[in-house]
Every structure is written in C-alpha cells, then in structure tokens.
Amino acid sequence: MNRLSNSLVAADVAAVLHPYTNARAHEQKGPLIIDRGEGVHVYDEAGKEYIEGLAGLWSVAVGFNEPRLVEAAVRQMQKLPFYHTFAHKSHEPSIRLAEKLVEMTPEGLDRVFFTSSGSEANDTVVKLVWFMNNALGRPQKKKFLARTKGYHGVTVASASLTGLPNNHRDFDLPAIPVRHLTCPHHYRFAHDGESESEFCARLIAETEQVILEEGPETIAAFIGEPLMAAGGVMPPPAGYWPGIEALCRKYDILLVADEVICGFGRLGSSFGAVHYGFTPDIMVLSKQISSSYMPLAAVVFTDEIYQAVADNTNKIGTFGHGFTASGHPVATAVALENLAIIEERHLVENARQMGDLLQVGLAPLADHPLVGEVRGAGLIAGLELVSDKATKKPFDPVGKIGALAAEAGQEEGLIFRAIGDTLALCPPLIVTEEHVHQIVQRMEATLNKTARALTS
C-alpha cells in the first residue's frame, strides 16, 4: 500500500463508524477503499479491478461511470441546485419525475411522495396510512403485517417493519404495532416433506388466522418485498402473492410492495409486483430509480389514499410530513435521465436475458459441497452455504464462512454480499454475456477457495 492509502485507511479507522460493520473488526482490518468505477467494474486504490456483483448496494443499474447522469446533475446544479417542495412550491424535475413514475408503474398508482432513502419512504408509508385511517374515522386501523427476514430499512418505523433480529435487538424495536409472519422461503421454512404448494397454502392460512386474531378492523396494511432480497435473496413460492392480495382485498387491508430492490427491471420485469402478478395500493421505489448516483426514493400510491389525505388536511390542517430534500431537483433530474437510459437501452429486457443466463450458469453450483441452495430470479441470486447438504445444517457460527467467502471473492475480483452464509449477487442491469460468465466462474473459484480455507 502507498502512503496515501495508508493514511486514508488510518483516517477512516480513526473517524468513521461504518454502517452494518463490526466496529472492532474494522479497527483491525480497515476499509477496502474504492477509488473509481467503470461500467460493471470498480477499482480500489491499488488499481485492482472488481466486478461489482452487487451493483454497489443492489442499486447501480446503468454502471459506475454513466456520463449522461453526470451531465444531468451538472445541468441541474447550474440551473437550480436546490429548491424544496413544501408549502405550494415546486420545480420541473420533481414534477416530471412524478409524472414519469405514474406512467411507468401499474394502473391505479397515480400519486407520488418523494424522500431521499428507502427507509424514509417506508416511514412515510406508515405515516401516510395512519394519517389516512385517522382521516377516514377509523383510528384503530393502524397495525402492519410484515414478514420474518423482510427488509424495509433502519429508521424507527421502517426498522420495526424489517424482520431481522439485528435490526430489533439492542435498538428496543419494534416501536410500532407490527406482526411478522413466516418467511416465505421453502428451503428454510417448509415443514419436512411439505411441497411448495402446501407450504404456500399454509402461509396464506396463517396470514388469515393472524388477521382474524388481531381483528381486520385493526390492520392497516401488509408490506412485503416481492422477492425478499437483503434478508437473504428468497423468491416466494408460486401463488403466494395472489393469495396475499386476495386476503388484503377481503379484509380491506392495503397492500404495499416494497420495490426498493425489485423495481425498475431487477427481476427481468418492470416491477416485482408485475413479475409475480399482483397489484399493490402502494409501491416503494428507490436505488435503481437514480442508479444511486443521487439519494432518492418515492412512494407511489392510489388516488383513493390521496383523496383521504387531502380531505383530512381540510379538517385538521396541512399534511405534516416531508423532508428538506423531498423531490430534490438534482436527484430527480438524475433519476429522469437514468430512467430514460433504462428505457432506451432496453435494460429490463437485458436483465431478463442476462438473468436467465445467470440463473442457468449458477444452478450447477448447487452441487458444490459447500452449497445448500442456489436461488434467485432475473438478475438477483443467492447461494446459501451449509455444513451438511442433506440436513441443511448451517455452519457454526452463522456468518463466519460467509465472511470468509466474501474475502475470497474479493481476491478473485468479485464483490458480492454475504448475508449470514448466503452469498448474494445483484449485478448492474448493463451486464453482458461475458460479464455473466465471469461472475459464474469467479463465484465457483470463490467457493473452491473457501472450501480449501476450511480444510487447511
């Protein structure tokens, strides 16, 4: 390492508390400092090239050096670098983007509220739905249904919706009324001998039982990621979403699709809800909306919800919610350009084709001695490592071999995310056939290296 990198590493360790990082281990290990990006690649300070197999944080659709996004940002910076959208003010990029999202999302989703992160967007969902039910004179209808291992963010309400122990334990959460239902992942949560369709039927029956137990008049909304991503890349069993949708309709419960990762083509369809054949009342969008070049998220919802909120403001005042950066002009201008590129370059279609290749390429790795299950859809995949393939017994402690594999992957020039012992891939939508082959090859080399490290 050169002097600059040494001093940077030292400065990082001295000053930064990193998100989702073991602070004590970081003091020993220091950061991998990424210096620049190009297409699907990023480069560290020493010039080593990596395929960014997680598109940053599941988010960079168009690659790491798209000049059109830079130009869009500069143009907007020069014209109007900041303005807000409070108190009857607006600006063109946020208006155009809202219009575009209404056009792109399924029929019926007609209104948009902007935030800067997925977490803020999910907190907004909670408050929007509570505000609406107060407006409709049913203040008892406030509870949320979510799923174990679901991921919806880290702010107080969104972390409450998240169904992962690390996001609750030691943070005194959940802090809002939420019931977490069984995770719809057959490999881990099915009973012995239970088929996928039996498993699905059991989950739907469980959901109905919880609704009846709590009382439908107390349940405001069901929230879920179409394909659960950050909790471990877990596609739902066939028929799950139509079953959940039917229950929501039957009991007057709003259905919220958290599309923060699935949205804008990740699964090879425009949105996850379209992919799995259901129609939500609310969609939460972020990440690929701007390829994360600028922080941005959006809550897109029905006119019915809007009308209730608008009526309430007539009775009790303004809708008392919003962020300084809601609809930020530079972020929304960049998002508009990013969405134009996704359309012009047919990146959703590319995700479908390259996604098929990725899934077919990874499938044989299920025979690797370390791998319990290979799963995914479109351009998102997970490989779960187990100590015993027959019994699905995890390694002890969970997370250790995942971390080892992530290190080995980096040495092989492939960055992915280890979620416990599930290795998650989610490459940029611009990947080519050659990149997909390289990803598969490097993943196989990573598994072999990890297996050797285990036995040495």
Binding site for ligand PMP (CB under 6 A): 117-119, 122, 151-153, 225, 229-230, 258, 260-261, 286
- Rg of the chain taking only CA atoms, in angstroms: 22
- Nearest approach, Cβ of residue 156 and ligand PMP (Å): 12
- Nearest approach, Cβ of residue 287 and ligand PMP (Å): 7
Q: Which residues contact residue 217 at a Cβ distance below 8 angstroms, ignoring those fewer than 6 apart? A: 138, 140, 141
Beta-sheet pairing, 254-258 with 219-224: parallel
Q: Which of 128, 170, 454 is nearest to 322 (CA)?
A: 128
Whichever of 76 and 117 has its CB closer to ligand PMP, that residue is 117
- Nearest approach, Cβ of residue 240 and ligand PMP (Å): 17
Whichever of 118 and 409 has its CB closer to ligand PMP, that residue is 118
Residue 10 corresponds to which tokens in the numbers above? 């030292």
- Nearest approach, Cβ of residue 264 and ligand PMP (Å): 13
Whichever of 151 and 199 has its CB closer to ligand PMP, that residue is 151
Give the C-alpha separation, 224 to 162, whole Å: 9
- Nearest approach, Cβ of residue 298 and ligand PMP (Å): 12
Count Cβ atoms within 10 A of the Cβ of residue 137 and give its class: 0-12 exposed, 13-18 middle, 19 or more buried. Answer: exposed
Whichever of 135 and 233 has its CB closer to ligand PMP, that residue is 233
Whichever of 53 and 361 has its CB closer to ligand PMP, that residue is 53
Q: How far is CA 70 from CA 67, 348, 429, in A?
A: 5, 22, 18
Contact 196, 186 (CB under 8 A): yes
Whichever of 85 and 117 has its CB closer to ligand PMP, that residue is 117
Give the C-alpha separation, 13 to 29, whole Å: 9
Helix or strand or coil: residue 178? Answer: strand
Looking up tokens 């002009």 gives 329
Q: Which residues pair with 44 in a beta bridge?
A: 34
Contact 413, 46 (CB under 8 A): no
- Nearest approach, Cβ of residue 284 and ligand PMP (Å): 6
- Nearest approach, Cβ of residue 184 and ligand PMP (Å): 15
- Nearest approach, Cβ of residue 113 and ligand PMP (Å): 15
Give start and end residues of each alpha helix (H) in 215-328: 240-250, 272-276, 303-316
- Nearest approach, Cβ of residue 122 and ligand PMP (Å): 6
Phi, psi of 450 (to 5 degrees): -65, -40
Q: Which of 158, 419, 179 is nearest to 284 (CA)?
A: 158
Give the C-alpha separation, 431 to 378, whole Å: 12
Whichever of 66 and 258 has its CB closer to ligand PMP, that residue is 258
Q: Residue of minimal CB distance from ligand PMP?
A: 118
Whichever of 404 and 406 has its CB closer to ligand PMP, that residue is 406
Q: Hey, what amino acid is at 224?
A: G
Helix or strand or coil: residue 397? Answer: coil
- Nearest approach, Cβ of residue 60 and ligand PMP (Å): 13
The half-sphere exposure of 77 on its side-chain side, counting CA atoms within 13 A, is: 8
Give the C-alpha separation, 214 to 430, whole Å: 45
- Nearest approach, Cβ of residue 218 and ligand PMP (Å): 24
Whichever of 281 and 412 has its CB closer to ligand PMP, that residue is 281
Whichever of 176 and 366 has its CB closer to ligand PMP, that residue is 176
Whichever of 42 and 261 has its CB closer to ligand PMP, that residue is 261
